[in-house]
Amino acid sequence: MSKYGSFPGTRPRRLRTTPVMRRMVAETRLHPADFILPAFVREGVSEPVPIQAMPGVVQHTRDSLKKAALDAVEAGVSGIMLFGVPEESKKDALGTPGTDPDGILQVAIRDVRAEVGDDLLVMSDLCLDETVDHGHCGVLDEEGRVDNDATLERYAEMAQVQADAGAHVVGPSGMMDGQIGVIRDALDQIGREDVAILAYTAKYSSAFYGPFREAVGSSLKGDRKTYQQDPANLRESMRELALDLEEGADMVMVKPAGPYLDILARVADAVDVPVAAYQISGEYSMIEAAAEKGWIDRDRAIFETLTGIKRAGARNILTYWATEAAQKLR
């Protein structure tokens, strides 16, 4: 005993003494149902295509995508967010594959719904960037700028074909002004009030999207700074949040997750709808690369980052480790 008696009288370390003690008092717990798996399906391939910048992630064939969806169901994952990669020759200035009922994304939605029914939420990326020859998230005007209102017309069409294909949830990710309201109206007009909207409310213009460009075969030249948010801004996200909720968003998202945990926490404190966060390609690839070098413990890093995202306020996390993490938690 110290010569100062029982000082210190308060010893928080008592609650860290054993694994069972730490587990009992843990304030944040991950669960398989927290996770949504982003998945890419590529048109015209007979075998899954590895994504070089994202070790362990592939562009799926239709068959391998169905297997990935079944694996996610068995692991207890809640949803799968689908991204379609059409053949290069089919891309055009308007993103025609995005509204073609036989476009690869719509085909994939039907495939997965037929495979898993309602056991997994089938979510669809609602954006033009994978389907246009210029790589932007919208239609361009005569001067090469993204035309907000012309893009909204395309988004409305996309929402309807994705709903017809069987999407439970659509995820508008283009950051166009008014996109949630237009999409909600378009869905309601065809009697699909049951289809939910996961709004990419705070989607920042980030350096961490790099590997994703390979994953979707992006044709982008330039950047998306005129419509994605400035990383320096917080109040701008709260304004976007208010607009998305007013327009009818059922859920809201912050993207990327890790560098924007402060934004995530502010959003989560402000709303009574579910809040998601997207742990994006660059976040994934950095951990995989550092682990491959032996610089960090891969599993500990994965679960530490996921725990941090949930602790900051995310109800759900889109992560490329969704199925693996869920399996390990179970």
Q: Other CB atoms closer than 10 Å to residue 62's CB: what's the count? A: 16
Contact (CB, 8 A) for 145 and 100: no
How many whole angstroms from its chain centre is CA 76?
Answer: 18
Contact (CB, 8 A) for 79 and 254: no
**Distance (Å, rounded) from C-alpha 230 to C-alpha 299?**
32
Q: Is 157 labelled a binding residue?
A: no
SS3 277: strand
Contact (CB, 8 A) for 150 and 138: yes
Q: Is 320 labelled a binding residue?
A: yes
Q: Is 27 labelled a binding residue?
A: no
Give me the catalytic one of 225, 255, 293, 310.
Answer: 255
**Distance (Å, rounded) from C-alpha 150 to C-alpha 141?**
9
Q: Is 11 labelled a binding residue?
A: no
How many whole angstroms from its chain centre is CA 51?
Answer: 17
Identity of the residue numbered 223? D
Identity of the residue numbered 150? A
Give me the catalytic one of 66, 91, 203, 310.
Answer: 203
> Could you confirm whether 203 is annotated as catalytic?
yes
Buried b (16+ CB within 10 A) or exposed e, 36-59: bbbbbbbbebeebbebebbeebbb
Q: Which two tokens stand for residue 240?
A: 């976007």
SS3 236: helix
Of 209, 204, 316, the closest CA to residue 260 belongs to 204
**Distance (Å, rounded) from C-alpha 246 to C-alpha 181?**
8
Task: Say which DSSP state 121 is in.
Answer: E
> Could you confirm whether 66 is annotated as catalytic?
no
Q: Is 46 labelled a binding residue?
A: no
Which residues does the annotation place in the binding site for 5-aminolevulinate? 213, 224, 281, 320
Which residues does the annotation place in the binding site for Mg(2+)? 240
Residues designated as active site: 203, 255
Which residues does the annotation place in the binding site? 213, 224, 240, 281, 320
